[in-house]
Amino acid sequence: MHDVAIVGAGPAGATAAIHLSAQGHRVLLLDKDDFPRDKVCGDGLIADAIGALRRAGLYEEVRGLGYETRLCTVYSPSRVQVDVPGEFLTLKRLLLDDLIARKAIASGAKFLRHRVTGIEPQSNGSALLTVRETDSPIRSRIVLLATGADVELPEKIGLVDGADHSAIALRCYVRSPVALDRLIISYDRSILPGYAWIFPLGNDEFNIGCGIFYNGNEHARVNLRDTFQTFVTEFPQAADIMRRAVSRTPLRGARLRCGLRGAATSGAGNILAIGETIGATFPYTGEGIGKAMETGELAAEIAHRALVSGDFNILREFPARLERELKPKFLGYRIAEEWLSRPWLNDFVARRIHKSKFLQDSVAGILNETVDPREIFSLRGIVRSFVR
């Protein structure tokens, strides 16, 4: 009998495993893939991820291996350029996820490459997990589900309410001798309703990709490969990188689940769901590593108290804590998304940012999570931008 079985060893699951094992609990971390494994991503780390890496004791190592910059330049539909200062890191997920999973193992978690195919809650709240690789079921007092945007298993046990993924994105790696000292995000008119990014990885390597948020709009389903082609042809920095590219990996795509919605966060018995499974990725930017880690931390804290006290009703606090501590941040991003997906409003805000110190500070504060996006994306915010 394990104390906690964690299904999925991405940032959400492995972070939970680090914190639980460090407190002496018997943790089993399961993933269908062996590590290191690739994960399609932009590989960008913003303030929330950096904070969670610090708390996991991994910041220095990630910083040492990754690329660091203090600037992210965002382009509006009419290419009005907004420079957002902050601390940003990039590190390929192949390396990042391996580091987090290895830290979990070093902290005492046991890792098994197993695909979990079923979870059966028992009458005492514990669970039996069936896996593809062996006939013997695995027993655990608590289960954390962290399968990312792959919700086949959560769907099977009734946690996912049928809501589809909310975004899709693709990326490739390009090696090119172009000097670029910042992250670039573009909501360029030529690629709307998609968005695109160029994230330097250091050593002349770049992660270039684009995505589309559906927001329930079926018409938004564009051909992303065409969007990518438009971006690397028409966006000057992307075109420059591509023209001088010495190598390039094929485009690979993946789905995203955003907005902290689309799945129940706890199930029958002692089961909690975390990370992208419960939509813990920000709408509009697609940043999800930090929030996945934060949901893992929160679940670990609550599971620890339940295990120590023997009162598993404590697990029922998880949905309310998420609602209270994380949901407001997602609401702010959703409002920002509603504003910025209107090209004229996006351009208007970008132009105002150039003229207003209040808006410049607020935009930096949003990324650092010291400012609620609603400070800007409201009538009051716009009025204030004419004063300061």
Ligand X SMILES: Cc1cc2nc3c(=O)[nH]c(=O)nc-3n(C[C@H](O)[C@H](O)[C@H](O)COP(=O)(O)OP(=O)(O)OC[C@H]3O[C@@H](n4cnc5c(N)ncnc54)[C@H](O)[C@@H]3O)c2cc1C
- Give the interface with ligand X as residue ranges (CB under 6 A): 7-13, 30-33, 39-44, 49, 115-116, 146-150, 153, 169-171, 209, 211, 254, 256, 275-276, 281, 286-290, 292
* 151 versus 349: smaller Cβ distance to ligand X: 151
Phi/psi at 349 (nearest 5 deg)? -65, -45
DSSP 199-230: EEEETTEEEEEEEEE-TT-GGG---HHHHHHH
Structure tokens at 216: 């329930």
* 209 versus 259: smaller Cβ distance to ligand X: 209
* 11 versus 283: smaller Cβ distance to ligand X: 11
* 276 versus 347: smaller Cβ distance to ligand X: 276
Determine which helix (DSSP H) or strand (DSSP E) holds 134, and give its type and residue range: none
In whole angstroms, the minimum distance from the beta carbon of 101 to ligand X comes to 9
* 13 versus 365: smaller Cβ distance to ligand X: 13
Question: How many Cα atoms within 13 Å fall on the side-chain side of residue 158?
Answer: 6
Q: How far apart are CA 153 and CA 277, in angstroms?
A: 10
Measured from the Cβ of residue 200, the count of other Cβ atoms closer than 10 Å reads 22
The angle subtended at Cα 45 by Cα 335 and Cα 264, nearest 5°, is: 55
Angstrom distances, CA of residue 137 to CA of 1, 127, 129, 197, 300: 11, 10, 5, 43, 23
In whole angstroms, the minimum distance from the beta carbon of 321 to ligand X comes to 17
* 48 versus 347: smaller Cβ distance to ligand X: 48
Structure tokens at 306: 């339940």
Q: How far apart are CA 262 and CA 281, in angstroms?
A: 12
In whole angstroms, the minimum distance from the beta carbon of 379 to ligand X comes to 31
In whole angstroms, the minimum distance from the beta carbon of 254 to ligand X comes to 4
In whole angstroms, the minimum distance from the beta carbon of 13 to ligand X comes to 6
In whole angstroms, the minimum distance from the beta carbon of 62 to ligand X comes to 13
* 258 versus 335: smaller Cβ distance to ligand X: 258
In whole angstroms, the minimum distance from the beta carbon of 384 to ligand X comes to 29
* 275 versus 381: smaller Cβ distance to ligand X: 275
Which amino acid, residue 206?
F
Q: Is-contact 194 211, C-beta < 8 A?
A: yes
The single residue listed with the structure tokens 């382009």 is 75
Task: Print burial letters for 262-277: b (CB count within 10 Å at least 16), e (below 16).
Answer: bbbbbbebbbbbbbbb
In whole angstroms, the minimum distance from the beta carbon of 111 to ligand X comes to 11
